[in-house]
Chain A
Amino acid sequence: MTSCGALRSSFFSLLNSHDTSTWLSSSTTTLPSKRQKKFSGSIVAVQQESKPGEKSDIVLNNTNGRITKNLNFSGEKPSTPILDTINYPIHMKNLSLEELEILTDELREELVYTVSKTGGHLSSSLGVAELTVALHHVFNSPEDKIIWDVGHQAYPHKILTGRRSKMGTIRQTFGLAGFPKREESAHDAFGAGHSSTSISAGLGMAVGRDLLGKSNHVISVIGDGAMTAGQAYEALNNAGFLDSNLIVVLNDNKQVSLPTATVDGPAPPVGALSKALSRLQTSSQFRQLRDSTNEITKQSGSPAHELAVKVDSSVSGMAGSPGSCLFEELGIYYIGPVDGHSLVDLVYIFKKIKEMPAAGPVMIHIITEKGKGYPPAEAAADKMHGVVKFDPKTGKQMKSKPETLSYTEYFAKSLVAEAEQDDKIVAIHAAMGGGTGLNIFQKRFPNRTFDVGIAEQHAVTFAAGLATEGLKPFCAIYSSFLQRGYDQVVHDVDLQKLPVRFMMDRAGLVGADGPTHCGAFDTTYMACLPNMVVMAPSDEVELMHMIATAAAIDDRPSCLRYPRGNGIGAPLPPNNKGTPLEVGKGRIIKEGSRVAILGFGTIVQNCLGASDILQEQHGLSITVADARFCKPLDGDLIRKLAQEHEVLITIEEGSIGGFSSHVSHFLCLNGLLDGNLKWRAMVLPDRYIDHGAQSDQIDEAGLSPRHIAATVLSLIGEGKDSLQLLNL
């Protein structure tokens, strides 16, 4: 078809011309030959697709404009000839650039294959495949220290540093940790899990190296989300001052929150920093756009053209020079933006910097895409950040459908129900909309949800500020992340007695994430504060009532801890709206004799399990009580239990110094320990429990139903039977 031919040729010339095209800028930068080749490849492909006699459509889609190679995501073990030769980074030194590119592809295939079988963090690792390969090729881990911020993108790093064979055990009991861990390998320079620590640690290693007279390199990899935390700037401030040789790689993929999406779809990242970082990328685009505008307006007529020129000249003043930005002012030399998926560029830049003897602190700003190379991840709203087992061909996750929802979801629904009746309720979270369930709240009340970025300290004081104005802030931060904002809790909230409500999700043992995310200490650090009300629900219904209670407590701060897991299936109140409980009153769930177990939190379910075991196998009937409040304690309940039983066991899924300690103080101050009472406390042991399945961790901690039953038996004098129970 001549017409189609005309289209083809004219379009082809359009696309490939550098001089007179209307669309392309008239910049005379020559394309690196590699890119040009790829480019004509796509045009050829399009041409071949259209059969003669048909209309030739050139379809340009937003997402499919780029060229993707055909990687094997079929679910079978991918063939990885080059990756098979690499056991340690030193084996990568002699590879050529082409082989490194093939290695990156194989690495992606291997990642998708492994994570599809075990679950874990997928897309962040896919985004840094090229970066990892480039770093290990140029630098010599473990002499050169590579520090990964947060660490969930370190899967390729683990594969390349001798742990490929164990990747099938990642995040499981006795397997590899899901984050870098110093005990695991010499190549993991620093343990991570909480964000924004890599530059600080890197600076420490750099200064140590300088003092000791060594000459290795230190590279910290940090993401744009982690850059929203203050600690990163504290580190940069110090690095700029000390001027020690340090390489910081800023991995910018425009993903600040987890996920950077609402319930309805992708959302732009929160915070002004993201906009600032994008301006660094686009300051040169203006020139290109200006040129193309000029071309077009020349065609359309002179008045329009004049107008465009006027607009252009007024705006050109606004585009500042790239590079002279925040980082430069701090004394960090800024290089970028760099295409984070171009191995050529990355290797070149790293090699150049490696040669310089005194570069000082350097920041390389690379632009990547989360989930790059695996289309289902690129397309998903949450980019498949954290996944369970999935089908590699389609990306569909095999999520089991439990009968009850998670505590997080119950929390979100209950908070929505409260907020519908009280318009002073606002919710704050620190870049964890998905994890805390506040994305659900945001869908219903978009103006009353605040995502502050990864800034727990700011979130707490921000909530305190809101409380002074009479609002009712609910601060939903994971138990272990709230540690970062502890001084703000003490000084800004508790000391001033401001009614901020802390909703501490992931309290207790958390399973596959391991000790970095474990919420063992929250009762300890919250209950020692003079003005804080501390509660913990034993099931999802209690959770809803406690949220209502927290909403009602308006004269002092309060907090509420609940674990990772699903509800037990208790009947919910209508519309998910709880009723406020009486503060400082617990309840007795089951009456018995001789032995009383007083539990705090969802561990009460394990106590009920233990009482069933004892009933069925030993005919013992024991009392199980739910304390509900750690502060203020239900003194009457404790007195009653102490006076009517021989044995009192207090139990919580927290460290020493928490609920059990408070009960012990109460008992001794009230003279209840002066009689015949045997009191024992069951708490988490004084060590960090490794990652694994939650049930395994509870067993390891000694808080499972059979451990509780064994403790009871050992106390009422039947030692042999308790050992038998332990072996069940």
Chain B
Amino acid sequence: MSCRNYGVAQKLPRTENGLRLYTRPDNPPRFVSFRVRPGPVIQSSLNETVSLISEQHPINFYELLGIPETGSLLEMKQAYKKLARKYHPDVSPPGRVEEYTQAFIRVQEAYETLSDPRSREMYDRNIAKGLHLAFRRSEFDEFSTFVTVSLTRLHVYWQEIEEKNEWESQWQSQLSELKRRSMYKDSNDNMSWAARIRRERNES
């Protein structure tokens, strides 16, 4: 069976629904994927995770990449390239491959989310509205980054569906209000030019 030996993956906790969330460590990952792995899950204290990045306990992508929140695309690209070169599994020191790979994956996710203006905007709003604050640093460091990435991605996707439902209820109510208004639009106390003309027309 091939779903075994994800050395890195062991460290991540599980969610309420029994989903085990991991990233794929083998090849340099290109996207976030949810994967199932049988066997026991090892809860980690998360202090053992990638020392390099976790030393600074970053709580958001900007800190991860080392750029200010107002950073430009160019700065982001440069920061990403620098970090990617540093943490790529192929150039990592032996023995710390897993940690480096973890770090690499997170840098990758950070860059992908922040480089697309749309998901970056979503992410910024997430931060502004305190989504990050929902997680206590020491215990949910990994999880928070991971979930924020997934949330952001899912949000951008789900936005399509949910947003439109919100919109629909909104414009439905706007339409009924307009209908109501248009009923008494031409009453005698409306003195606008067009109302006067319409009244004259209706009378003649």
A interface residues with partner B (beta carbon < 8 Å): 1-4, 6-7, 10-11, 14, 22-25, 27, 29, 31-32, 35, 39, 54-62, 65-66, 206-207, 210-211, 213, 241-245, 262, 264-268, 278, 281-282, 284-290, 292-293, 296-297, 299-301, 303-305, 307-308, 311-312, 315, 322-323, 333-339, 342, 345, 349, 352-353, 356-360, 362, 446
Contacts and interface: CB of A to CB of B under 8 A. Distances in A.
A322 B170 CA distance: 9
A84 to B, nearest CB: 32
Contact of A304 (B77, B125, B135, B178): B135
6 contacts: A23-B151, A62-B118, A62-B119, A66-B157, A304-B134, A339-B168
B39 to A, nearest CB: 9
- Number of chain B interface residues as a range: 35 or more
Nearest to B166: A284
Interface stretch (B52-60, B85-93, B100-108, B182-190): B182-190
Contacts, number: 222
Contacts of A4: 36
A308 B170 contact: no
B38 interface: yes
Interface string B36-77: 111000000000000000000000000000000000111001
Contacts of A284: 163, 166-167, 170
Contacts of B162: 24-25, 27, 288
A55 B158 CA distance: 24
A299 B18 CA distance: 13
Contacts of A11: 19, 34
B135 A299 contact: no
A393 B185 CA distance: 53
A192 B147 CA distance: 49
B73 A265 contact: yes
A62 B147 CA distance: 16
A31 B156 contact: no
A206 B17 CA distance: 59
Contacts of B31: 59-61
B117 A360 contact: no
Contacts of A307: 130, 133-134
Nearest to B191: A243
B34 A352 contact: no
A300 B140 contact: yes
Nearest to A336: B171
B198 A210 contact: yes
Given A3-B3, A308-B133, A60 B157 contact: yes
B27 interface: no
Closest 8 CB pairs of A and B: A311-B130, A243-B192, A65-B157, A244-B194, A358-B185, A284-B166, A3-B36, A7-B36
A338 B167 contact: yes
B126 interface: yes
Nearest to A58: B34
Contacts of A292: 151
Contact of A29 (B16, B118, B136, B166): B166
Contacts of B167: 281, 284, 336-339
Given A3-B3, A210-B198, A289-B126, A359 B182 contact: yes
Contact of A3 (B15, B37, B77): B37
A359 B15 CA distance: 52
B153 interface: yes
B164 interface: yes
Given A62-B112, A244-B194, A296 B130 contact: no
Interface string B142-179: 00000100010111111111111111111100110011
A1 B33 CA distance: 18
A457 B94 CA distance: 63
Given A268-B117, A359-B185, A305 B34 contact: no
Given A312-B129, A335-B178, 8 more contacts: A3-B37, A35-B165, A62-B119, A265-B115, A268-B121, A311-B129, A311-B130, A336-B174
A56 B129 contact: no
B178 A293 contact: no
Contacts of B147: 296
A293 B127 CA distance: 12
A297 B134 contact: yes
Contacts of A6: 18, 36
B134 A349 contact: no
A470 B68 CA distance: 32
Contacts of A337: 167, 170-171
Contacts of A32: 165, 168
Contacts of B112: 62
A65 to B, nearest CB: 3
Contacts of A210: 194, 197-198, 201
A446 B73 CA distance: 12
Nearest to B162: A288
B188 to A, nearest CB: 13
A313 B141 CA distance: 25
Contacts of B159: 285
A2 B194 CA distance: 70
Given A335-B178, A353-B178, A60 B38 contact: no
B35 interface: yes
Nearest to A260: B117
Contacts of B130: 293, 307-308, 311-312, 315
A288 B129 CA distance: 12
B194 A288 contact: no
A242 B193 CA distance: 5
Interface centre among A286, A290, A338 (most CB of B within 10 A): A338
Contacts of B125: 282, 285, 289
Contact of B33 (A23, A59, A339): A59
B2 interface: yes
A251 to B, nearest CB: 15
B156 A62 contact: yes
Nearest to B156: A62
Contacts of B175: 335, 349, 352-353
Given A293-B130, A338-B171, A10 B194 contact: no
A147 to B, nearest CB: 18
A333 B151 CA distance: 35
Interface in B8-31: 15-19, 31
Nearest to A443: B74
Contacts of A22: 15-17
Given A29-B169, A293-B131, A323-B170, A213 B161 contact: no
A11 B35 CA distance: 11
B179 A356 contact: yes
A10 B178 contact: no
Contacts of B195: 243, 358
Contacts of A268: 117, 121
B161 A35 contact: yes
A7 B14 CA distance: 13
Contacts of A304: 133-136
B83 interface: no
B116 interface: yes
A274 to B, nearest CB: 11
B90 to A, nearest CB: 23
B186 A55 contact: no
